[in-house]
Copies of this chain bind each other. A is one copy, B any other.
């Protein structure tokens, strides 16, 4: 061992003992013949004092930032203590030292507020990883990993490894494939998730399975997507939805406790997908703040169980509202004081192409009780008052209104709500609000193919009461314009998403475990019998041999860590991430391979 103690370990109790430390030179300060060095390792920083007896050695072998040093010395009490660090009450009076390795000057400073840009830090990721900010993230990641494993272990879950070289069954996202040298012209695929394997493990009777596991999706990378990512993947047998919700809110609460010291004792809120869309315009609403959407007007084809308040706005000859599919409002508490400039900025904000609205109407509910609106011309103060009542606006508030096509307008209103929440400081990093979103539609309509696609995945069960609807109806859509009136449009999935602060951190479902229903599902998704059998014959086969009722969930581990760590970016929580083009700039990968490798794989690069 090159050390007797770590750099985070020594306290006044060790004063007068002789110790050996090893670590990196963080800073060097000279005061005449005395040199102070902060020595850093994973565990902390300890101050070293080189007295004049070392001047000669230091002159012939000068120290530099990030040099690796081994130091033998006596622990002494510091005269001016630094109470901000655990070792701040002592320092080391150096007896002898060895430079274990030198360092050239790093391309950026190894500090929390580094001067290194993103590209530079990624190229020298091994130096970036030295920074405390990054180290804390990876430590948090390990703490989450450890906490999750402990909870799952205590609840009889078993870690069972599933294979990485599997079969390509693209469904939704693209597979990464791996050419097989021994089977010319054939390919393995890397798993997008261990979905079918964990279901097979349930068929095999393993009862409770988990894995912290890498998954792969060859998608066009949006910001903050990685081609390889990690899931906490879980599955249970003989359960209903309620059992899963209880087990896994327990998991997340345990992580809060172990990792953040937070007692999340309150019941986790639950909301149907329909309510989430109705109230927040979003299937993963941030419920740290209210500011719910009020639907003044909607088309009849959506939200069949909800009523709009179109009587409040109809008959005013206001073409913008009259011509819009939907008119949506939110009330901003205290917003009556918004200046003209602020309202103009918000209007510009909703008109940006990413949001795509034509404008923003407002109704000020002044402190004096009067109402002043950008649509005064069409609505009397009396009518405005009724709208204000309907949108729960108090004196001093402002009502913001968007109008347009239902889907776009609701999405825009959701974005506006989040933006305002941000501006008003209602999205606090250290406040954590969990939410279960339930009762998703089982299917989505694909306009391109005029067929159904699985909203979650093809293994998700419909609600038990709707199994017969699915079995008994023909999935074919004969009237594309009215796809919403097809019986399948109303089928709800036995699926659930866990949302944390407006981010989906996990999702899962109760699975289909009957061959007949699974075959109907594949058919509904436009798969021929042959295709279903080629891709998923093993699963259909397994369902014939006594498959138990089962369900599960997968948490996005990278995302969960980033939210717990208070960061927007999952890259900060991955030791060696790829950039937005899927490249590892440190390794310079992907790269070309040898012709002999290509030949062995029976492949040619298509130059066309």
A interface residues (Cβ-Cβ under 8 A, vs B): 1-3, 6, 22-25, 40-43, 66-68, 70, 100-104, 106, 124-127, 129-130, 135, 138-139, 141-142, 145-146, 149, 153, 158-168, 170, 174-190, 197, 200-201, 203-208, 214, 216, 218, 220-221, 227-228, 230, 238-240, 243, 513-514, 537-538, 541-549, 574-576, 578, 581-584, 586-594, 597, 599-606
Contact = CB atoms under 8 A, between A and B. Distances in A.
A183 B576 contact: no
Contacts of A582: 165, 180, 182-183
B1 A605 contact: no
A462 B182 CA distance: 37
A163 B601 CA distance: 23
A31 B160 CA distance: 40
Given A68-B547, A179-B177, A606-B602, A590 B187 contact: yes
Contacts of A163: 228, 576, 578, 584
A548 B129 contact: no
B604 A603 contact: yes
Contacts of A6: 207
B548 A22 contact: yes
A129 B206 contact: yes
Given A43-B207, A165-B176, A177-B178, 8 more contacts: A67-B546, A129-B206, A165-B589, A165-B590, A166-B584, A168-B593, A177-B601, A599-B606
A91 to B, nearest CB: 20
Q: How many copies does the complex hold?
A: 2
Contact of A589 (B188, B206, B214): B188
A190 B178 contact: yes
Contacts of A67: 546
A583 B135 CA distance: 41
Contacts of A100: 548-549
A103 B515 CA distance: 11
A201 B129 contact: yes
Contact of A167 (B218, B220, B546, B584): B584
A109 to B, nearest CB: 13
A-B complex: 3 closest residue pairs judged by Cβ atoms:
A103-B546, A167-B589, A129-B204
Nearest to A544: B104
B66 A545 contact: yes
Contacts of A103: 544-546
A457 to B, nearest CB: 17
Nearest to A601: B177
Given A164-B216, A170-B597, A180 B590 contact: yes
A22 B547 CA distance: 12
Nearest to A149: B149
Nearest to A246: B1
The residue in A189, A201, A546 that gathers the most chain B C-beta atoms within 10 A of its C-beta is: A546
14 contacts: A1-B240, A3-B238, A24-B548, A41-B207, A68-B546, A126-B200, A126-B538, A135-B206, A141-B160, A163-B576, A166-B587, A182-B581, A185-B605, A538-B588
B165 A142 contact: no
A548 B101 contact: yes
Given A183-B590, A204-B126, A604-B603, A165 B227 contact: yes
B204 A130 contact: yes
A590 B188 contact: yes
A2 B238 contact: yes
Nearest to A196: B587
B142 A22 contact: no
A158 B178 contact: no
Nearest to A65: B546
Contacts of A538: 126, 586-588
A124 B200 CA distance: 10
A142 B162 contact: no
Contacts of A601: 177
Nearest to A184: B605
Nearest to A576: B163
Contacts of A24: 205, 546, 548
Nearest to A605: B185
Given A177-B601, A178-B176, A205-B24, A574 B186 contact: no
B605 A606 contact: no
Given A126-B542, A182-B581, A167 B604 contact: no
A205 B40 contact: yes
A187 B102 contact: no
Contacts of A541: 124
A126 B203 contact: yes
Contacts of A591: 167-168, 186-187
A330 to B, nearest CB: 39
Contacts of A162: 575-576
Contacts of A604: 603-606
A149 to B, nearest CB: 7
A545 B127 CA distance: 8
A101 B546 contact: yes
Nearest to A575: B160
A436 to B, nearest CB: 18
A597 B1 contact: no
A592 B126 contact: no
B200 A549 contact: no
A328 to B, nearest CB: 38
Contact of A177 (B23, B101, B583, B597): B597
A65 to B, nearest CB: 9
A539 to B, nearest CB: 9
